[in-house]
Structure 1
Amino acid sequence: MGVEIRRARRSDRDFVVGLLDEAFRDDPVSSWVFPGAEHRRARHAGLMGAFTDVTFAEGYIDLAEDGSAVALWMDVPADPEDADADTSGGSSGAEDRGEGAEDGPAQLRAAVDPDNERVEQIGRLTEAAHPTGRAHAYLWMIGVRPERQGEGLGTALMAPVLERCDREGLPAYLEASNARSRALYERLGFVFTGTAVDLPGGPALWPMWREPQTM
């Protein structure tokens, strides 16, 4: 599928936030974080804005030129203190992910929705599940406008980064938030790590790891 992709600039920030808000507002995980529809409409964009700002600061954002889809990526370096970890299935807690990293979820909650413990809770759960040891590309989020889903835009948007991973021998990691996206990622070479992130009283996230592919 011919999809023109460009690297998003900071001037695209509000557009990216709006696209993510539209793409994820009715996602099972977003519905768990903000269970009330009215509250979700009021707060969800703020969460997407926080994710966007962190990615601009620490990663990169790829945007379909026609504004239909967006992907938030980070290149995660190897952890020299855990270099022998089994990243294909193992994980460690937030205390192993860098000094002060455990404060991130609390800071996110304070900035986005201070009275909502689920904002902090999901951050801590995904941090604990994130593999350590080997450098990898982390697909934090990929959003497609609801009316454009099913057109292969997600695959097209991910292709350049996965091709780079294959060239450089770099693994990739993500958390699938629903069964449909999990099936897509499996077709792209991602494998479920074996331990789901079960949100209390809510849906599951499936951590998935992709070893670099050889031609």
Structure 2
Amino acid sequence: MPQARLLQPTDNLEIAETLARAFQNESGWSYVIPDPKLRARRLAGAFHLFLRDEHRKGAVYGTDGVEAVTLWRGPGQARDSMFDTARMIIPFVQRLRFSILRGLEVANLIEKHLPTEPFWYLHYAGCDPAFQGKGFGGAAIQAGLERADQDGLPAYLETADEHNIALYQRFGFAVKHSWQVPEGPQFWGMQRPGKTRH
């Protein structure tokens, strides 16, 4: 079985490339950057920007060869502060250009649906398509869930691809709500209850 480990900022280049391949055909990013060629060119740069904060705000787990990655934000870190948003907006505009408007639309809707109680947030989970179905993604997800369980806290995520629902249900997540981006994809918010500490 593949094993997952805590990844470090020195792994960010590989992490961004893996996530870019994983999200190339994902519904949310396909809405934000509709042109597939443009999406292929810009996704790795966008994920590299996300990774500036992810290690600090939570934990990044991945398999040994970075075939699969999960970005987790810890309790109280799911929502970006005004300072973080202001600091990141210019680099994101440079990466995404006009796609930033759709990106902000999706990000605002996601934030409105985040839980209010403390939780661990599975911000992104992705597996290189060449390694899907081989347990790599599951290992990266499980590593983050074990971290959430140490705190006895629930875990939350959202997905814009309906076929992912069954995958996350196998890890104990259940659909909490769903919402539609106007003229865009549907999202499902899923939550896994916290484990009681002994």
TM-score normalised to structure 1 length = 0.80
| Match in the other structure for 2:144 | 161
The 1:18–1:99 alpha-carbon spacing in structure 2 relative to 1, beyond 3 Å, is closer
Shift of 1:214: 5.6
Q: Identify which of 167, 170, 174 aligns with 1:191.
A: 174
SS of residue matched to 1:141: strand
| Match in the other structure for 2:95 | 112
Letter in 2 for 1:168: D
**Residues 108 and 119 in structure 1, CA contact (< 8 A), matched pair in contact too:** no
SS of residue matched to 2:34: coil
Unaligned runs of 5+ in 1: 79-93
Q: Identify which of 163, 170, 175 aligns with 2:153.
A: 170
- Per-residue CA deviation, residues 120-167 of structure 1 (Å, 9 max, x unaligned), is 1111111111111x2211110111010211223222222233234334
Q: Distance in 2 between matches of 1:47 and 1:199?
A: 20
The 1:137–1:57 alpha-carbon spacing in structure 2 relative to 1, beyond 3 Å, is same
- Percent identity, aligned pairs only? 29
| Match in the other structure for 1:40 | 39
Unaligned runs of 5+ in 2: none
Shift of 1:204: 1.2
Q: Distance in 1 between matches of 2:24 and 2:106?
A: 16
Q: Distance in 1 between matches of 2:91 and 2:102?
A: 11
Moved over 3 A (4+): 97-109
The structure with the larger Rg is 1
**Residues 24 and 30 in structure 1, CA contact (< 8 A), matched pair in contact too:** yes
SS of residue matched to 2:71: strand
The 1:99–1:119 alpha-carbon spacing in structure 2 relative to 1, beyond 3 Å, is closer
Shift of 1:168: 3.1
| Match in the other structure for 1:84 | none
